Structure 1
Amino acid sequence: MTVNLEKLLSKATTSLAVFFIFSVHVSAFSLTNCTVSGALNDTRVLKVLCYKMGFFTVPSPIPSKARHLDISFNSISNIRVGDFDDLWNLRSLNLSNSHVSWIQDGTAEHFPNLIDLNLAKNKLRTISSGLLRGLGSLQVLRLDRNMIGSIDTFAFNTLQNLQVLNLTGNNLKQIANVRPVLLSPRLEELYVASNNFDVFNSWELSRTPLLLKSLVLSNNPLNKFEITDNIFPKLDFLDLSHCGQNRTMLWNLTDKTFLNSVKTLNLSGVHIPEEKIAEVLHNTSWSSLFKLKLNELKQVKVETLLPYACLPGLSVLRMERNGISNLTARELKPCSNMTELDFGNNEISRISAPIFKEVTQLRVLRLKINRLTQVKNLFQNLPMLEFIDLSRNRISVLTCSDFANLTRLNSLYLFSNRISKLLSCMFKDLNNLEILKLGTNKLLTIGTAFQYDLPSLKVLELQFNKLSTIYKETFKGLSGLQTLHLGDNQISEIEAKAFSRLRNLTNLLLFSNRITDKTLQDQAVFSDMPNLIALELHSNVISYTEDTLKMPPFKHLSSLEILTIHSQRRGFGKIPSNLLQGLTSLKMFYGGNLNLNRLHPDTFNSTPKLWFLDLSKNTFADDDSISAEVFHPVPKLTKLIISRAQIHSLNFLPKAKLLRLSTLRAPGNVLDVINQSLILSLPHLKYLDLQKNTFTCDCNNIFFIKWALESNSTQVIYMNDYTCSYPLSQKGKSILDLNTESCNVNIDFMMFVCSSIVVTVTLLISFIYQFLHWQVLYAYYLFVAFLYDSKRKQTQQQHGYKYDAFISYNARDEAWVVDELLPHLEGEQGWRLCLHHRDFEPGRSIIDNIMDGIYSSRKTICLITYDYLMSTWCSKEIQMANFRLFDEQKDVLILIFLEDIPSHQLSPYYRMRKLVKKKTYLKWPKRGEDTRVFWQKLRMALETKEGPEDEKALLSTQGDYPRNLL
């Protein structure tokens, strides 16, 4: 499995090699856009894949524990020593296809234990003395497809363990330029094809015996191939294919035994006249030759070449692409000891049985890609045949005798022909047949061809035909069959027990047919296959509308482990809650591209062993499309794929209890925020793929970003390519460019600040309550009065006052108000007074009534007594009246003291003290004193207009009363 690596996590000495990351101190996944496979602490399998990433420099830092590193298909032109740290565990390094033109000497010393180095398809021009220094353990080196023209004399002297060297496709020009590589004493395979060699002289390469076992010189314009010393005593494979120039290559062996160890010789496409090839074969001792390739020889005459090609010890002869149209028994007579013949890709249209009467030992016969139209007992003289390839011909008819008596036949390839009918007797004698390929023909029906025993048949391929119906017991004679391929037909009907007696069948492929839900409605369709492991039904026309099925189709498949039903051509509709009933062993379920919009919570109730689930390309756009309960029956789920499914949120996962989930792939959705609860709910997550989603780049994703960069257990695939979709100002920018520092919150500091604020506020409130209680209370009511005053001003200016005076008094003084105040002011003087008990509107709040009373009256009369001063509501009334006095700058307040109150007792009520200091007030006469002056003065106070001059006039007439009590 693969996953993506993101940006570098601070001090990780970790280094990512194609698929994994190494770390010295911190083992977090950290290389931009690289993919990792394996465990960070497991040096046996750690792979880091950085291919096709568009890198211009070597990614850094590469984990020190990396075992396999792939940086191929990039644009790294120069490599310096400092680009790599020491990678002691590295065994494989792939730098191919990366435009490398220069590597600094000493770079290879960072890989002392490297075994395989691939530098193919770059732009190196020379192999310097220090390029490979330090690679003492190297066994395989690929330098093919570069521009190498020279090799330093001592470039390979430290490669003591090199066994395979590929220099194909360079520009060495002379075989002498290859000589420095022979300083590697254990070199066994040397590939120097396509190097523009025009001469091969053995003495230019070496004068002493070499350990080479394989030498490839193909595609060189050789005009001479000369061996003057026995330098190849152990050579096993020699490839001279497509060598020579203008059909003039000279072959010269001073001793015909110099190549007697060669077992495989490839002379395909050599530019040598036909008679010269025959001469080469005849005048050389090929005592060990086992396989000879003579493919692509232009205008070859088989009758001339075969007597020489069929050497006494030769077993395998390949003569493909030679334009051969006819074969005769006389031509093949010298090949009587041959065990394998390949005449594929020629123009043979007719062969008769007598042709092979002399090659009775033949075991493998390849006749693919010819023009054969029939077989006609072709193999009756070949009782030893084990493999026949007749694929891609024009065969339309087969008879019962075509393969008769081939009791040893193991594999028969008949695919890509024009066969339209299978006879019941066609394969009856093939008791050892294991593989039969009949795909891509024109079969309309299978008939009874497989109702007779083929006990050894394990693989039967019938794909790409025109089958429409599978009848009952069609395959009853194939008791040993393991794989049945019926895909890409037109099957719409499968009868009950069509697959009966296939008790060893493990793989049944029925994809790309016309199977519907009605085809599968009989449970007996899949009966009698107790060992079936994989069933492929994808790309059919199955669909359901029911929530529950009466006859679940897979009820008898208790051993099934893999089920594919994805990509139904008309949409699946819905997955019935019991569709998977009976699949108690199911491990992998492919349900993508079914146009599903909801999963029933009971969908997987019958599949407790499920570990792989693919639901991609569906339409789960609603929040309740997938619930957490769906996953409760599958606690072993390890890999979940829900790509391109229109999913807005993964909020169903935290409650899904998927504690074993290691891979989650959800690319191509509309996910905007990945929250902390999701990540914490998946403790064993190793690979997370969220490419091409619509991320919101704000502080909501800050945890996800930091976690992705710092996690040492989970790899986020290609996070470097994740871009912002919101807000619009950030659209298209990398999610990694989000300023995470702006979202950082120091919890300790915030707790300190909050606790300090709480303590300070508590102390402040306590202080205010203790020492400034009345001032705060006064300020509050002052503010309320201000609000009310601003609202009432305009109304009163328009409509006038409702009352002449609002009477503010304590309830205990109500008797004086009723007995004295009302009779005089309302009865005798005719004033309109506002009183609590009489004029307040029931149901309204007291404050609103007080406000209305004060602002609906020209004056406010406060009756001051001890009880008044102690009353909360009286205090509110005088405060509001005082604010009106302050705001309107009018004489609207009249104070009347009904009791003598010493000044020191007024002190706690500092607002009252303040008022009596600057306001005139009236005092109720003592018992027995005349009250007429009092009522006269009160009348004058009520009659005065609210200007300052009127107040002065009133004061001038107040001789009996001091201005204040102090």
Structure 2
Amino acid sequence: MFRDIKKEIQSLNSRFESFREEFMDEQIRLKEENKELKTKLERLEVKFDRYEAQSRRNNIIIHGLEGVAGESWDDTEKLARDFMNDGSSLKPVGTTRRVPHPGRNAGTYRAAQGVHELHEVLENQPMSHKVGHSGGSHFEKGLQNVPTCLPRNTTTLLLSHNKLKLPNQAFVNVSFLKVLDLSFNDLKYLNANSFYELSELESLNLESNYLNYDNDTLPPTLFNPLSSLLKLSINNNSKGSPYPDATTLKPMPFLYYLDLSNNKLQRLSTDTTNELDKFPNVTVSLRGNPIQCSCRALDFLRWMNANQNKFSGLSEMACEYDNGSSISMTKLHQIVEELTSECSRANAALGIVTASSCVCIVLIICIALGYRHRWSIRYMYYIGRRRFWRQHPVEEVLQYQYDVFVSYAESDRHIVIQEMIPELETKAGLRMCIHHRDFLPGEAIASNIVNAIDKSRKTLIVLSPAFLKSDWCVFEYHIALQSRVNRRQDNLLILMYQHVPVKDMPREMAVLLSNNSYLEYNTDVYGRDAFWQNLVESVKTAQPLE
């Protein structure tokens, strides 16, 4: 047993020695690799310094409106000559055109092609009178146009604190720009092609201008040339809330920083947030904006909550309610939950109100149509009731049980009893339907009226002032009108028993009397026979409705 243990210990010692030798070899190898990496890093640093020096020669800084006095002219000349490293000397161009010390925000130019170009640029720019501060000067108005004689290989152009106006293709002569600063220039509008041919631009600063567009959206093709842009600053615009929408963002696939802080933005549109989702590493700054805490902004707040890693300074932001109160964006999750619940109730209430409104509108339309066609509806109702409830065949209706149904007011009853019955039934042999004699007992009056008109070849209206005052007479008239339309026959006769002014007639009756012949009651001895003869002929004659 002890021999086995001893052998096991020896085996373990052998394996340990083997592992130790391998570890030492690996440590020696790593030291050698580390030494090689240090050597490569030193070489890269040397290259970087060279590139940085070359890049610095391609920088141009033109600060204007808020410049301060610089150093003496000799210091400026020496610094410019050392910086340009081309042996040129900077010639003074008058006391009102001296160039202050670079970096003092007061009109400094750095050009890769030599300081002699500085003289040419300054000669072509409007400047103000001398301002005496330590022997220097500055521009009270600043540049109003982008200089046209800048070196083509310029990579950095700082034009802040001027009064620039950017036309189309304003930077076409410096197409190698990588950094462009247009801050503090009082820019109100940018033309759609202002940045034409700046495909290598990586940083664009539009801070502290007065950009103001309809609907707060920038021109859709404004950033189309900027395919290499990495950083875009459109912050501190006091006049409006311009922001790049989905169309404007598409041409910038490498964008990683978007500064929209201190504007008047209340929310971003859904199209814009959907486009920002395509930039996985983008950082957005919305600090200082009055972000809405309302149902209108709920979709945007939900997007913010799901993409908090995209926002810079979220803890410094606040969300503003409609009542003027605000809440920190650190409670964004809570804000979204509360608004979701509140908006759900509001949407439900809105849905109920909308549905109720639709129902009311439909009901009002139905009532209006029903009132307009009330006589047609009532006529069709009673016709259907008679045919289907009593199960009368349709063929019986076409045989007409009566030749004429007489519609009259109760006060005009004597003409029907004393004159019409003897003349039309006794002498002429016509079958008359008279309500006090022929209506079916126990049946509804309206149903009796519809049945009588439907079973009669003609309907005779005994028109008088008393007729128009009777509701049942007016009902009989409208049912007869509807029967006239349905049959497509001129089956309505009007007997003007007593004069009725046109203004007292229903509109349909006035139109009917103006377009059709009617009979007038004649009590004259010589005209009486002709009157009754014409009435009998009218009852017997069937004419199609024109």
TM-score, normalising length: structure 2: 0.44
Which structure has more relative contact order (CA 8 Å, sep 6+)? It is 2
TM-score (norm 1): 0.26
The structure with the greater share of residues assigned to helix is: 2
Give 1 or 2: higher strand fraction: 1
